Structure 1
Amino acid sequence: MMKHIVMFKRLAHVEHHAGREAELVAWMRRLDCEIPFIREWRVSANELDRPICWDYVLESSFDDRDAVERYLPHPKHVELIQALKTYFEWVACDYTVAN
């Protein structure tokens, strides 16, 4: 099993727009319905106001590295990324979970 974790925060030069942000987060939250080989998928909002915190975290799981590598160029993922990059920056970590 491979975990794919991504943290998001609003771009520093982008003004907060609650409606646009809600739309993007809702889209993130439903991506697993469009890509059948995603095993686990959860998007959560940060709850504490601290300078080191990011705004959202995506926690997802895939069967293996090959599945993550199929996911990254998947058209539905690429479409979402195109929209997200106008509002958010992100960092990611991919790692294997030992059985």
Structure 2
Amino acid sequence: MIRHLVLFKLNEGVSRDEERVQAGARAFAALEGEIPELTFWECAWNITDRPIAYDFAINSAVADKDALTRYIEHPAHQAAAAQWREFATWVIADYEF
């Protein structure tokens, strides 16, 4: 199994209350059940307010590297990520467990 973690940081001056940001969050939430490769899926806004904190997180799992590639290349994932490119940056970690 591979855990796929993503942490998003909203760009300077961008608020999570903006409609485009809320639409981006809804797009990621909608991936649950949409992409067959996902064996685990959760995403949510960070609830703490610390200077080093990121704003939004995805915690997901897939069976193997091939499944991870299919997930990343899936049109629904690509569309959701494209929305976030407009207002955020992110870091990822993929590890086997």
Normalised to the residue count of structure 1, the TM-score between the two structures is 0.88
Residues of 2 paired with 1:94 and 1:68: CA distance? Answer: 9
**CA offsets 1:65-93 (integer angstroms, 9 cap, x no match):** 11001111111111111111001111000
- Secondary structure of the residue aligned to 1:25 is helix
Aligned Cα root-mean-square deviation (Å): 1.3
CA distance in 2, matches of 1:10, 1:2: 26
Q: Tell me if 1:48 matches 2:48.
A: yes
Residues 21-60 of structure 1 show CA distances to partners (whole Å, capped at 9, x for unaligned) of 2221111111122211211000021111110000011000
Residues 17/6 of structure 1: CA separation in 2 closer, same or farther (3 Å cut)? closer
Gaps of 5+ in 1: none
Q: Look up the equivalent residue of 2:45 and give its one-letter code.
A: A
Measure the CA separation in 2 of the matches of 1:49 and 1:42.
Answer: 20
Which residue does 1:68 correspond to in 2? 68
Q: How is 1:12-27 mapped onto 2 (pairs within 5 angstroms)?
A: 12=12, 14-16=13-15, 18=17, 19-27=19-27
Shift of 1:17: 5.6
Equivalent residue letter for 1:47 = I
Alpha carbons 2:8, 2:57 under 8 Å: kept: yes
Partner Cα separation in structure 1 for residue 6 and residue 92 of structure 2: 4
Unaligned ranges ≥5, structure 2? none
Tell me the SS of whatever aligns to 1:44: strand
> Deviating runs (4+, > 3 A) in structure 1?
none
Cross-structure match for 1:39? 39
